[in-house]
A = this chain, B = another copy of it.
């Protein structure tokens, strides 16, 4: 159950698909030279593989636990987080001004993948802290930045996002937590928040809760929500810790997976009121929270990819080790099960989907860097629109993909997969949270349909499809059955996606339920087409390298075969998804509630 970061594939994607050599020309990104990036990845791989990965399974067996308001995290977590912080890994993509390394998101992305492969539960504390940092960078006052950013970026403190309340679930309009002004610029916060990841723990000196709440005169619904900083310990002017704030963890959840990650119920203000300070302006909390959420959503997509990679590696190791039954083509004795075609099919399915999702996410990260750092405002704007289109897909598709991969990982293990000691079952349990938190796939799909497709009349989607078509043209010039098959499926896939975009744009106004009946399927279709596109690009580049006699021929041949597999087995589902969306809404909506 060890983990070795797939550095070779990561570097291939960074350099060949996500175009690192362009990204590191952007202002502020110059440090990300190819050599530096390779060194960062190798160092990170070492830390994740040696320090964090060994904690994953033991921490599932002995999860974090709650006693009298305190949470004791799983054995080794505290020390590992200290190492993580000291090595500067929390600050990879954060500004050097506040103690970060100031590297592009494109470089942080493989680091996040590795940390999540090593331990989803452990990685969550960093992911939530990243979200808090992003929100403060965007909307915090200079004083707030000066107080909170450096301790967060250097991993001295950690951050949380406090959205969900028992009655509200995903519906933030229903948030009830109250913020009452004290007259001195601070507020007293009262309310209950649930599902707060790392809402309490023992791995850092302080925890900075970012909390959605309503001021007394706030309008109802989402337009009356403000964002507050509510630290676990108040912070003195000199940065030292002051009094314990009235924000207490009253319990943690008993969960299906990510058991080492404490999921807290936090009670604010049961003893007079928790002290909070407003972030940015009143009633703009949701907007700021979306900054955290977009970062976190991308991060959860990376969790899916990280988990899938780990499950794949574990399944490959088992399949090579486990000897059972003769080879179909007729060996004398039993062979390692990797030689059995169905085991190989599952491994290829796991591998190809993981690689496709990785490629799409890294490409998305590069686009985000352009959107943030390009000198031309118009280029920034265009790239931001593309990145925002991709975020719900990267989150929703990569995480649902990871469920399937984790499922196949158990299946490769046969009966042993069902026994908890092998660890395959842990991935299956852990994966199930990913399409749920930071917005379920349905919520990602709502975002994809509403804000990302209908609002611009499908313009960004169509621009991406045009790029897919350009790759199709290149495929037409490539030789051999593999490229022919990839092209056939990509052509069918982009046609299906275009038809669905047209359907969505044409019908959302007139028949919104018909469109939303297929919104998750649209997200999935976009994922497989755009992921398949990246695999097709990868195959074309691999063939160029082979033709030129450059690099590792085995790696490039495997890339082409993996792209071929993805096309025939995954991308080929595009037509079915199109049918399910364009024709299938009738069946979704036909029954009355009582008929269920």
Inter-chain contacts of A483 with B (CB < 8 A): none
Task: Render A434-447 as a binary contact track against B, CB cut-off 8 A, 1 for contact.
Answer: 01110011100100
* Contact present for B414 and A593 (CB under 8 Å): no
Complex Cα–Cα for A322 and B168 (A): 10
Task: Specify which chain B residues have a CB less than 8 angstroms from the CB of A562 in the assembled complex.
Answer: 587, 591
Residues of A329-371 contacting chain B, CB below 8 A: 329, 334, 336, 338-345, 347-348, 351-352
Is A595 engaged at the interface, CB distance under 8 Å to the other chain?
Answer: yes
Quick check: is A576 within 8 A (CB to CB) of the other chain? yes
Contact B561 A569 (CB under 8 A): no
Q: Which of A174, A516, A590 has the most CB of B within 10 A?
A: A590
A171 with B407: CB separation less than 8 A: no
Nearest CB on B from A292, distance (A): 17
A107 close to chain B: CB less than 8 A: no
A428 touching B432 by the CB < 8 A rule? Answer: yes
Picked from B339, B513, B591, the residue with its CB within 8 Å of the CB of A348 is: B591
User: Is A309 among interface residues, defined by CB-CB distance under 8 A?
Assistant: no
B442 and A340 form a contact (CB under 8 A): yes
The answer to whether the Cβ of A476 comes within 8 Å of any Cβ in the partner chain is no
Question: Chain B's nearest CB lies how many Å from the CB of A585?
Answer: 8
Q: Are B411 and A435 in contact (CB under 8 A)?
A: yes
B-contacting 9-mer, from A95-103, A252-260, A454-462? A252-260
Give the distance in Å from the alpha carbon of A591 to the alpha carbon of B554 in the complex. Answer: 9
The answer to whether A584 has its CB under 8 Å from any CB of chain B is yes
A169 at interface, CB cutoff 8 A: yes
Within 8 A of B (CB), among A545-580: 554, 557-558, 561-562, 564-569, 572-573, 575-576, 579-580
Query: Contact: B561 with A583, CB < 8 Å?
Result: no
When distances are taken between beta carbons in the complex, the residues of chain B under 8 Å from A569 are 580, 584, 587
- Shortest beta-carbon distance, A296 to chain B, in Å? 15
Task: Report whether A442 and B588 are in contact in the complex, using a CB–CB cutoff of 8 Å.
Answer: no
CB A486 to nearest CB in B, in angstroms, measures 10
Q: Does A517 contact B (CB under 8 A)?
A: yes
Question: Which residues of chain B are near A530, meaning CB under 8 Å?
Answer: none
Mask of A150-178 contacts with B, CB within 8 angstroms, 1/0: 00000000000000100011110110000
Which residues of chain B come closer than 8 Å to A440, judged between CB atoms? 411, 414
Name which residue of chain B comes closest to A584, CB basis: B568
List B contacts of A320 (CB < 8 A): 593, 596
- What chain B residues lie within 8 Å of A589 (beta carbons)? 341, 344
Is A229 located at the chain interface by the 8 A CB criterion? Answer: no
Q: Is A230 an interface position by the 8 A CB rule?
A: no
Chain B residues, CB < 8 A from A173: 325-326, 334
Write out the residue numbers on chain B whose beta carbons fall within 8 Å of the beta carbon of A436: 410-411, 414-415, 417-418
The answer, yes or no, to whether A298 is at the interface (CB within 8 Å) is no
Inside 8 A of A253's CB, which chain B residues have their CB? 418-419
* A446 (CB) vs chain B CBs: closest residue: B342
Encode contact with B along A388-429: 1 for CB under 8 Å, 0 otherwise: 000000000000000100010011001101111100010011
List chain B residues, Cβ under 8 A from A195. 415
A517 interface neighbour in B341, B417, B520, B564, Cβ under 8 Å: B341
Q: How distant is the Cα of A489 from the Cα of B516 in the complex, in angstroms?
A: 22
Contacts of A345 in B (CB 8 A): 517-518, 520-521, 588
Q: Is A433 at the interface (CB under 8 A from chain B)? A: yes
A586: CB under 8 A from chain B? yes
A485 within 8 A of B: yes
A411 and B169 form a contact (CB under 8 A): no
Q: Bound complex: CA of A339 vs CA of B588, how far in Å?
A: 11
> How far, in Å, is A352 (CB) from chain B's closest CB?
8
* Contact, CB under 8 Å: A410 / B432: yes
Q: Using Cβ atoms and an 8 Å threshold, which residues of chain B touch A516?
A: 328, 340-342
Contacts of A417 in B (CB 8 A): 256, 432, 436
Would you call B418 and A256 a contact (CB within 8 A)?
Answer: yes
**Interface of A toward B, CB cutoff 8 Å:** 164, 168-171, 173-174, 195, 253-257, 316, 319-320, 322, 324-326, 328-329, 334, 336, 338-345, 347-348, 351-352, 403, 407, 410-411, 414-415, 417-421, 425, 428-429, 432-433, 435-437, 440-442, 445, 481-482, 485, 489, 512-513, 516-521, 554, 557-558, 561-562, 564-569, 572-573, 575-576, 579-580, 583-596
List, sorted by A's number, 13 A–B pairs whose CB atoms are closer than 8 Å.
Answer: A169-B414, A170-B325, A256-B417, A341-B588, A342-B517, A411-B435, A417-B432, A425-B432, A429-B429, A481-B586, A554-B595, A569-B580, A575-B576
